[in-house]
Chains A and B, each alone.
Chain A
Amino acid sequence: MRLISIKEHPNGLKILVASVLSGQKVEVALKPGVLDGAVLEASEAGVTYRLQSNSAVLHLLRETEEKQESSRGGKDSGAWLEWDAYHLQPVLAPYLVSVTGGREDKDLRAALQSLLATLATTHPLNAKEVNAASVVLFCSLVPLLSETVTTNLLQEQPSLLTYLTTLRETPPFDECVAKWWPGGSSSLKSWVGQAAPPPSPSHSTLALLKGCPSDAPSRPAPTNPADQAKPVRATVSPESVKEAEKWWHHPSEACPAPKAQNILPVKGESNILVTSALPYVNNVPHLGNIIGCVLSSDCFVRFCRLRGDNVLFVSGTDEYGTATETKAIAEGLTPKQICDKYHVLHSEIYQWFNISFDNFGRTTTQKQTDITQDIFFQLDKNGHISQESVEQLFCGKCERFLADRFVEGSCPHPGCGYEDARGDQCDGCGKLVNAMDLIRPRCKLCSSTPEVRSSNHLFLDLPSIEPKLKTWLTTSSPQWTANAQVICDSWVKDGLKKRCITRDLKWGTPVPKDNFREKVFYVWFDAPIGYISMTACYTDQWRQWWHNPDQVQYYQFMAKDNVPFHSVVFPSTLLGTDEKWTQVTHLIATEYLNYEDSKFSKSRGVGVFGDQAMSSGILSDVWRFYLLYLRPEGQDTSFSWVDLQTKNNSELLNNLGNFIHRSLSFVFKFFGGAIPAACPAGQDFEVMAAINKEVKQYTTTMATNRQREGLRAVLSITRIGNQYIQEQEPYRLVKPDRPPEDRERGATVTAVAANIVALVAVLLEPYMPETAGRIRDLLGNPTQLGRLPQAFTQFLPVGHVIKEPQPLITQLDCELIEKMSKKFGGETKSSKKEINPAEVTRLQALVEAQGSKVRQLKGGGMASKAEVAAEVATLINLKSQLANAQGVEASPAGDKDKKKNKKSGGGAKENIKPPPATQPSSNTPVNEAEVSRLQALVTQQGEKVRALKTSGASKEAVAPEVAVLLDLKQQLAAAQGINLTALTGKDKKKKK
């Protein structure tokens, strides 16, 4: 056993004395910060436990105690031990602290005085009889003998004083005291205050549970304790408090005047052009696509608009290319029809997600053709376009040159060898691929091996533009996200090569050059030009945005797979024209979002796609919130339904929603909906300073596109607000029976809280525009909430009237979440049913044996109809078991067997009925609700049985519970369509 104690702590002495008394050796280890001063470590069955000092004394002296038990009347040791811990320590410990501090606390002294009097009158104080109680009491009180003040206190109880001094001279107390306190008596300074004093018994932990008093609005769930337990308010400096005070009193300085939206850059102002990577038209975007570009850019754009920048936000569908042609063939439409159909679908999804495009265009416009051809002419004029005859794959069967995406084969990059590499890029290693280099190429449409033919093509001469590109990169790329810089660097380092920019297709921007008129531009050459043409479709003044690099900051948003074309090819195209184009200044690339730890996959039905999110019944704002909350900034992140539920219920509902609802309810309930006059004081300004710190954090992180951190700043503000209300309790202060200064204070807190809500309404806009709008609406749409303030201030003037608050956020219940995760989990999960190969082979052998038996019987013609029928029934039963074990639905197999039997025309056919036990598995459809209900019951019962077993209950007690469990399991199996009875039946047979 090991005694671990704070140096010289009397609780350590307790254990030491007890160990000497009992003759059990303990090893002593001194450590600072031991809980309760000292503990005794003891091991049993390989596990180490810790006993608190009093219990340790009891443990060491257990034998003596049990002997004395019978012979003693009055209070036993246990009672005195409890008296020591429960009554004495909470007074004695703080009293000794006050004495050590040099100022004896009179109240504590009086309390201790009366306790000691009780002790002196009720305890026998017989120094001859040593037991656990005397050890504990002696060690607790003996430190009182070390100081004059405290000895004086003891002298008032002479019998107690004598008792203590006598014990101190009695072995083994004397030697232990000498060993524990080498100076002879306790020097309070060395241990008092080292261990936290026990809490006063007057507090009740239960009070913490009633965090939300009954007169506060009870609709939103109470804030959960741990959220409050964390110190959300960072320390604030006095200067920042003073500053907060200044902002509060000068609202007009904090809030810039609202400004009309301007869609053209203005010299000398902040002009921001934002584009989001063009979603390819023939795919419905999934959540990963949405957070990767459009949603991230929308969040930034909304922030810029709040900041008062001139922002133009452009995107659209990328429509040309081979993929559209393929899709058109598949759906039997023309490429144009396909694009029209899907463009609408895309627009609807983004509209639902509240993506605030200034223009959501498309690449199949006349403007696109004009601008692309213009750029091409310039490049050609400047000598950056070359012609080459290209050996290209031609599929004789399909009678066409195969575009990159129409060829598949093994990846040519050393070390990869991925078998399904596409002609333009390998999904295995991510590297770009030249279709001609593919090993064992095949036509994607007909899978025949294509032949090589030559065809003339135009090339963009990247090496000739490289010097310009490198110079430009040094100025631009430092502001890009890290992943974009790395990808771009590795491309440039590999050395740039000429890139073919034409394709043998119909569906594309026509090439305006003789001998190439039947060809079109490669989609990656003209797609980024779509940004320009879409701006041109929006305004005739588009050159003000696109030929204005000195005035315009250009932000491009995309997922990391789009970086090469945006960082190298598109800039080179523009640089090669020698015109003054606005080039990307901030390339913002995200990592990937996964779906429940696997990839989104349309074909496998894994993941949530835009249209499905729309019909999910979950508000678009919640989707926005959660996607931005886990925006894959530094690394890939993973979407999870349970996490979505948790974040919604904890962050949105309990934190943000709860704060807003409570704050506005106070205004509405106690002040008739009008903002009361506030006279904030020091502590209020401290809160404001803490909020200002978060506002600053929000502003800087949003400006640098760290949107996750920005969102956390908003949530911190509401958390600070919640804590502020919790501490100040305005709902108590405003009660009519409180003194006027209290009620005034209540008004102040209410007004400040309402203004925090106003601030949140502004800051939340980029993340949850609908919710922010609803909050502004509740607040009566004050104009000053249209712009990002510099700091927290009085957004709402005194007397400003608000509407009756409505709950903003709804709880997501487990049922919905379970339904959703099942619905979008794809087939992968359901087919995961475990297959036991040994069981399968065993059953196969049985089926075969039984099959030949039946054949023999029938062939022999000796057996009676009934006999044959019985054997056939067994065969069918075995077959369905086999199907089950193989993870195949049993019913088709059963049906087939029936048919076969009929065909075989055996005499027994009319009599054959499938054994009744197989009925449920083949006929009843699986009732999912029932299954999950039963599953829950089984789990519950299982835990019950485990608990019973671990608690050492008798067999007879456990048996009935186990029976219930087995019964439940059987019901579950039946509901799932698994044939349990048949299995058990078979087992019996085997035993025979």
Chain B
Amino acid sequence: MDKKVLREVVKYLQQDKIRIDSEKNTIAVEAKGKRTEGFVCGALSLVRTFEPQLEGVTPLQKSLTHSWLTYCSTQLFHCASLEALATCLHHINKELENRAFLCGFSATLADVVLFLSLHPFVLTWSFMQKEQHQNLSRWFSTMQGDARLAATHSPVQFSRTTLYAGTLRAH
């Protein structure tokens, strides 16, 4: 999954002269003659080279981007079961409760990576699931408004009115 997402990040940055290889279960990117190993370091090196503001503006934002990328590469990408994935989604939804984007009030690489990872899953969600992950859905619907993401990813419909408020039961 790391590789797929990293490839999409490259596409998002609209770069083509970048090589991605994975040997001995270590992924690496090579851009402008510089090779960087690891998903987190690789992705960060790409944005530092091509779009530095995506790493975040303040030091805290940069650290948060690092934290979220690490979270993706160690947790989200390697869910063995749907329960594990549900736990991740729950965590992310909770974190998005008090802010517009993962690392504050502007989108960073962390948001792009999370969007690229979740898009195939969110596509299959029912309205009920979308409502269960309300903050995540709100964030997702903002992210898909991004011109570059909208151009490559089919839109997902969200309902602004809650349909199941108070009626979500075990079934």
Q: Spell out A's residues near B (CB within 8 Å).
A: 35, 42, 44-45, 47-52, 54-56, 58-59, 62, 78-79, 81-83, 85-87, 89-90, 198-206, 208-209, 222, 224-226, 228-230, 640, 642-643, 646, 649-650, 654, 712, 715-716, 814, 940, 943-948, 950-952, 961
Docked pose: A45 CA to B99 CA in angstroms: 11
Number of interface residues of B (CB under 8 A): 72
CB pair A646–B128 under 8 Å, yes or no, is yes
B52 CB within 8 Å of chain A: no
Also in contact, A952 and B150, with CB within 8 A (given A208-B85, A225-B85): no
CB-defined contacts of A650 to chain B, threshold 8 Å: 126, 128
For residue A947, which residue of chain B has the nearest CB?
B145
CB pair B129–A205 under 8 Å, yes or no, is no
CB-defined contacts of B144 to chain A, threshold 8 Å: 943
Between A and B, 17 residue pairs with Cβ closer than 8 Å are A44-B104, A49-B103, A59-B66, A79-B38, A85-B40, A85-B74, A87-B26, A90-B74, A198-B75, A201-B78, A205-B76, A206-B120, A225-B82, A226-B129, A640-B163, A950-B142, A952-B53
CB pair A83–B85 under 8 Å, yes or no, is no
Docked pose: A229 CA to B146 CA in angstroms: 31
CB pair B70–A55 under 8 Å, yes or no, is yes
Mark each residue of chain B from 132 to 171: 1 if its CB lies under 8 Å from any CB of chain A, else 0.
1000000001111111001000010101000100000011
Docked pose: A226 CA to B127 CA in angstroms: 12
Docked pose: A49 CA to B157 CA in angstroms: 29
CB pair A947–B64 under 8 Å, yes or no, is no
B13 CB within 8 Å of chain A: no
CB-defined contacts of A201 to chain B, threshold 8 Å: 25, 74, 77-78
Contact among B1, B71, B124, B171 with A716 in the assembled complex (CB-CB below 8 Å):
B171
CB-defined contacts of B85 to chain A, threshold 8 Å: 205, 208, 225, 229
Docked pose: A226 CA to B120 CA in angstroms: 14
Also in contact, A205 and B1, with CB within 8 A (given A49-B103, A51-B67): yes
Distance to closest chain B CB from A828 (angstroms): 17
CB-defined contacts of A208 to chain B, threshold 8 Å: 79, 81-82, 85
Docked pose: A50 CA to B103 CA in angstroms: 10
Mark each residue of chain B from 108 to 128: 1 if its CB lies under 8 Å from any CB of chain A, else 0.
000000000100110011111
Residue among A54, A55, A943, A961 with most chain B CB within 10 A = A55
CB pair A62–B107 under 8 Å, yes or no, is no
For residue B105, which residue of chain A has the nearest CB?
A950
CB pair A52–B71 under 8 Å, yes or no, is yes
Task: List the 9 closest pairs (A to B, CB-CB), nearest first.
Answer: A943-B145, A55-B67, A59-B63, A947-B145, A229-B82, A82-B38, A199-B78, A203-B80, A205-B79
For residue A60, which residue of chain B has the nearest CB?
B63
Also in contact, A205 and B128, with CB within 8 A (given A42-B60, A54-B70, A55-B70): no
Contact among A49, A944, A952 with B60 in the assembled complex (CB-CB below 8 Å):
A49
For residue B67, which residue of chain A has the nearest CB?
A55
CB pair B82–A228 under 8 Å, yes or no, is yes
CB-defined contacts of A947 to chain B, threshold 8 Å: 107, 142-143, 145-147
CB-defined contacts of B159 to chain A, threshold 8 Å: 642
Docked pose: A208 CA to B155 CA in angstroms: 21
Docked pose: A113 CA to B95 CA in angstroms: 37
Also in contact, A49 and B64, with CB within 8 A (given A229-B85, A715-B171): yes
CB pair B40–A82 under 8 Å, yes or no, is yes
B15 CB within 8 Å of chain A: no
Docked pose: A229 CA to B170 CA in angstroms: 12
CB pair A203–B40 under 8 Å, yes or no, is no
Docked pose: A205 CA to B114 CA in angstroms: 13
CB pair B77–A204 under 8 Å, yes or no, is yes
Docked pose: A826 CA to B128 CA in angstroms: 27
Docked pose: A814 CA to B129 CA in angstroms: 17
B49 CB within 8 Å of chain A: no
CB pair B78–A205 under 8 Å, yes or no, is yes
12 other A-B residue contacts (CB within 8 Å) besides A205-B76, A948-B146: A51-B64, A55-B63, A83-B38, A199-B79, A204-B77, A204-B78, A205-B77, A209-B120, A224-B129, A654-B126, A715-B171, A961-B147
Docked pose: A228 CA to B85 CA in angstroms: 12
Contact among A85, A225, A946 with B70 in the assembled complex (CB-CB below 8 Å):
A85
B83 CB within 8 Å of chain A: yes
Across the A-B interface, how many residue pairs have beta carbons closer than 8 Å? 188
CB-defined contacts of A56 to chain B, threshold 8 Å: 63, 67
CB-defined contacts of B103 to chain A, threshold 8 Å: 49
Also in contact, A226 and B142, with CB within 8 A (given A47-B98, A89-B74): no
CB pair A199–B67 under 8 Å, yes or no, is no
Residue among B61, B126, B127 with most chain A CB within 10 A = B126
CB pair A230–B170 under 8 Å, yes or no, is yes
Docked pose: A642 CA to B127 CA in angstroms: 9
For residue B60, which residue of chain A has the nearest CB?
A44
CB-defined contacts of B117 to chain A, threshold 8 Å: 205
Docked pose: A233 CA to B36 CA in angstroms: 46
CB pair B126–A649 under 8 Å, yes or no, is yes
Secondary structure class of chain B's binding surface, majority of residues: helix
For residue B53, which residue of chain A has the nearest CB?
A952
CB-defined contacts of A35 to chain B, threshold 8 Å: 91
B59 CB within 8 Å of chain A: yes
Also in contact, A814 and B67, with CB within 8 A (given A44-B58, A86-B73, A715-B171): no
CB-defined contacts of A48 to chain B, threshold 8 Å: 98
Docked pose: A951 CA to B150 CA in angstroms: 15
CB pair A58–B104 under 8 Å, yes or no, is no
Distance to closest chain B CB from A717 (angstroms): 12
For residue B118, which residue of chain A has the nearest CB?
A205
Distance to closest chain A CB from B114 (angstroms): 12
For residue A951, which residue of chain B has the nearest CB?
B107
CB pair B78–A203 under 8 Å, yes or no, is yes
Distance to closest chain A CB from B164 (angstroms): 8
CB-defined contacts of B37 to chain A, threshold 8 Å: 79, 82
CB pair A50–B95 under 8 Å, yes or no, is yes
Distance to closest chain B CB from A84 (angstroms): 10
Also in contact, A62 and B63, with CB within 8 A (given A642-B159, A950-B107, A951-B107): yes
CB pair A203–B79 under 8 Å, yes or no, is yes
CB-defined contacts of A228 to chain B, threshold 8 Å: 82
CB-defined contacts of A952 to chain B, threshold 8 Å: 53, 106
CB pair A646–B39 under 8 Å, yes or no, is no
Docked pose: A56 CA to B66 CA in angstroms: 9
B17 CB within 8 Å of chain A: no
For residue A709, which residue of chain B has the nearest CB?
B171
B34 CB within 8 Å of chain A: no
Docked pose: A34 CA to B33 CA in angstroms: 41
B4 CB within 8 Å of chain A: yes
Distance to closest chain A CB from B49 (angstroms): 14
B6 CB within 8 Å of chain A: no
CB pair A198–B1 under 8 Å, yes or no, is no
For residue A646, which residue of chain B has the nearest CB?
B127
CB pair A226–B86 under 8 Å, yes or no, is yes
Also in contact, A82 and B58, with CB within 8 A (given A205-B77, A943-B144): no
Docked pose: A649 CA to B100 CA in angstroms: 31
CB pair B64–A943 under 8 Å, yes or no, is no
B44 CB within 8 Å of chain A: yes
Contact among B4, B40, B53, B58 with A206 in the assembled complex (CB-CB below 8 Å):
B4
CB-defined contacts of B106 to chain A, threshold 8 Å: 950-952
Docked pose: A640 CA to B171 CA in angstroms: 19
CB pair B124–A222 under 8 Å, yes or no, is yes
CB pair A52–B67 under 8 Å, yes or no, is yes
CB-defined contacts of B4 to chain A, threshold 8 Å: 206
For residue A63, which residue of chain B has the nearest CB?
B59
Docked pose: A200 CA to B25 CA in angstroms: 12
CB-defined contacts of B75 to chain A, threshold 8 Å: 198-199
CB-defined contacts of B10 to chain A, threshold 8 Å: none
Distance to closest chain B CB from A358 (angstroms): 34
B41 CB within 8 Å of chain A: yes
Distance to closest chain B CB from A260 (angstroms): 37
Also in contact, A712 and B171, with CB within 8 A (given A200-B78, A228-B82): yes
Docked pose: A47 CA to B76 CA in angstroms: 24
CB-defined contacts of A948 to chain B, threshold 8 Å: 146-147
CB-defined contacts of A944 to chain B, threshold 8 Å: 145-147, 150
